[in-house]
């Protein structure tokens, strides 16, 4: 729940920021009609599941489906689920391709959404909602890989894994074995806690083994759905391989992002500086949450593909796929910023700038992130915006950047961040976050450049004309002639 309170706070506070340069990345905004349609459809779905459920936990499932419906509505209304028309239309064409080739399955209850979370994954909630998180798309090469991902999620839905998993849990809680063990623990004089933990662990262990079985089923049915549409078999194997590669993303980057950012070098080698991971606070999020047992899954699918004597093939990316992928790349950066994970957003944005060197949008993201990190350091709250450097961070670029922000001298850092913003600033810049950061940084440097400040302010007012966010631009009296 914490996540969503935080989201609401962020939306109230940073909604000035969602402006995106039109030439390269159009507004990624929810269409209210599509959103309302989703809410309506998903509540019908849940109501119908609640009435058609046959099993021994009817009242429990009725409560559960009602809750599911409320959750979906909440996620949609609070922009956790995004309903941006062009990207949803693209995902729906992939869904339709699979639906047409698999008419024995009823796809009418499947609702695709894009979910705003700062990690790479996709999931099926059981009521027909299939959520794709933008970051996962950034790892794929072509639309067959993305389609296989969807097929795997469709299979979870058609196999009713949600209902089956919950039923297993209820079965366990209602079992004599469980009840006896609870009674036994209650009778114990000592060691109640340890025994209770052991009981919970046993349950977790059995859930994990079920979830492994469901993954296998989802791959096996998912592959059937996929191959029925005559898609390239090799790409289904590649999709799962990509999931495995995600956690090693940084290996692919040979560019010294640290140098490109012009940050001051801190004394000492990273590993000498890093011996502080006892102090590292709980990490906010796992950046990459891949499906369980990726290697195992790759093996299953490969075996199945070979058994069917499918030919080795390769799919070329379509323009539509590349456009969708770009939207997801930019949006995944934006999501990290909105979750205040500006260290990760900075590295991601700089890596994307290698691919899109002229992107004003990415420059704005990087500039804003640099400013936030500097701001955090200046106000002794850097930990709000970035992880502590630690031995556990295997990405040398990230480690170097964190090192600079945590350990270099503040005046040097100030100059480096100002230089970066200055070199990234153009009059085309339309991102409110960037404009505010640049203005504040000029102020911090004591630079009295009235010309630039006036331009910045005008640019800013162009996008926020009713002065709604004027307080984030606090220099009107000091520097700017009105
Ligand atoms: Zn799965």
Distance between Cα 49 and ligand 1 center (Å): 21
Residues 241 and 174: their CA atoms lie apart, in Å, by: 40
Distance between Cα 300 and ligand 1 center (Å): 13
Distance between Cα 340 and ligand 1 center (Å): 28
Residues 265 and 404: their CA atoms lie apart, in Å, by: 6
| pLDDT band, residue 20 (cuts 50/70/90) | very low
Contact assessment for residue 430 and residue 17, using Cβ atoms and an 8 Å cutoff: no
Q: What percent of the chain has pLDDT over 90?
A: 54
pLDDT digits (tens, 9 = 90+) for 263-295: 887 655 554 544 433 333 333 334 333 345 788
Prediction pTM value: 0.84
Residues 262 and 421: their CA atoms lie apart, in Å, by: 11
Distance between Cα 217 and ligand 1 center (Å): 9
| Residues sharing a CB contact under 8 Å with residue 77, sequence separation 6 or more, in sequence order | 35, 39
Say yes or no to pLDDT of 16 above 70: no
Q: Kindly report the average pLDDT of the chain as a whole number.
A: 83
Record the tokens describing residue 226, joined without a space.
Answer: 């996929």
What pLDDT is stored for residue 23 in this prediction?
42
Distance between Cα 215 and ligand 1 center (Å): 5
Distance between Cα 155 and ligand 1 center (Å): 9
In the sheet with 111-115, reading across from the earlier edge strand, the strands are 81-82, 111-115, 129-132, 122-124
What pLDDT is stored for residue 256 in this prediction?
67
Q: What is the SS3 assignment for 122?
A: strand
Distance between Cα 291 and ligand 1 center (Å): 6
Distance between Cα 208 and ligand 1 center (Å): 12
| pLDDT band, residue 477 (cuts 50/70/90) | very low
Least confident residue range of 225-229, 369-373, 423-427, 470-474: 470-474
**DSSP letters along 254-315, please?**
-S-HHHHHTPPPPSS-HHHHT--TTSPPPPS--SB-PPTTHHHHHHHHHHHHHHTTPPP---
């Amino acid at each position: 729940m914490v996540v969503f309170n935080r989201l609401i706070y962020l939306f109230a506070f940073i909604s000035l920021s969602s402006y995106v340069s039109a030439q390269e990345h159009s507004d990624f905004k929810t269409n209210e009609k599509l959103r309302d349609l989703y809410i309506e459809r998903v509540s019908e779905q849940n109501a119908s599941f609640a009435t058609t459920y046959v099993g021994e936990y009817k009242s429990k499932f009725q409560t559960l489906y009602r809750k599911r419906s409320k959750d979906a509505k909440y996620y949609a209304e609070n922009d956790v689920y995004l309903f941006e028309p062009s990207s949803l239309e693209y995902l729906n064409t992939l869904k339709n391709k699979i639906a047409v080739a698999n008419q024995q399955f009823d796809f009418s209850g499947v609702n695709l959404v894009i979910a705003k979370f700062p990690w790479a994954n996709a999931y099926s909630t059981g009521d027909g909602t299939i959520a794709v998180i933008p970051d996962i798309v950034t790892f794929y090469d072509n639309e067959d890989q993305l389609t296989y991902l969807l097929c795997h999620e469709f299979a979870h839905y058609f196999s009713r894994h949600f209902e089956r998993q919950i039923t297993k849990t209820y079965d366990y809680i209602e079992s004599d074995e469980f009840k006896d063990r609870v009674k036994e623990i209650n009778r114990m004089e000592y060691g109640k806690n340890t025994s209770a933990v052991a009981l919970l662990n046993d349950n977790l262990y059995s859930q994990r083994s079920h979830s492994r079985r469901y993954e296998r089923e989802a791959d096996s049915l998912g592959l059937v759905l996929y191959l029925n549409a005559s898609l390239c078999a090799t790409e289904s194997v590649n999709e799962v391989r990509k999931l495995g590669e995600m956690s090693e993303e940084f290996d692919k980057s040979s560019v010294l992002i640290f140098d490109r950012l012009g940050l001051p070098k801190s004394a000492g080698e990273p590993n000498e500086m890093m011996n502080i991971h006892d102090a590292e606070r709980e990490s906010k999020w796992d950046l990459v949450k891949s499906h369980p047992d990726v290697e195992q899954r790759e093996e299953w699918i490969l075996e199945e593909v070979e058994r069917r004597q499918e030919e080795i093939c390769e799919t070329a990316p379509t323009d539509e796929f590349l456009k969708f992928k770009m939207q997801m790349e930019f949006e995944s950066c934006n999501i990290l910023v909105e979750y205040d994970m500006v260290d990760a957003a900075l590295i991601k944005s700089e890596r994307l700038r290698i691919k899109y060197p002229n992107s004003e949008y990415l420059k704005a993201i990087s500039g804003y992130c640099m400013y936030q990190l500097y701001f955090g350091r200046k106000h002794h709250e850097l930990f709000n915006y970035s992880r502590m450097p630690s031995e556990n961070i295997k990405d040398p670029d990230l480690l170097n950047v964190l090192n600079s922000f945590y350990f270099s001298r503040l005046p040097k850092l100030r100059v480096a961040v100002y230089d970066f913003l200055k070199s990234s600033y153009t009059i085309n810049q339309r991102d409110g976050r960037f404009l505010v950061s640049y203005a504040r940084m000029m102020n911090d440097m004591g630079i009295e450049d009235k010309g630039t400040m006036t331009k910045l302010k005008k640019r800013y007012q162009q996008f926020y004309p009713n002065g709604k966010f004027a307080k984030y631009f606090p220099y009107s009296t000091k520097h700017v002639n009105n």
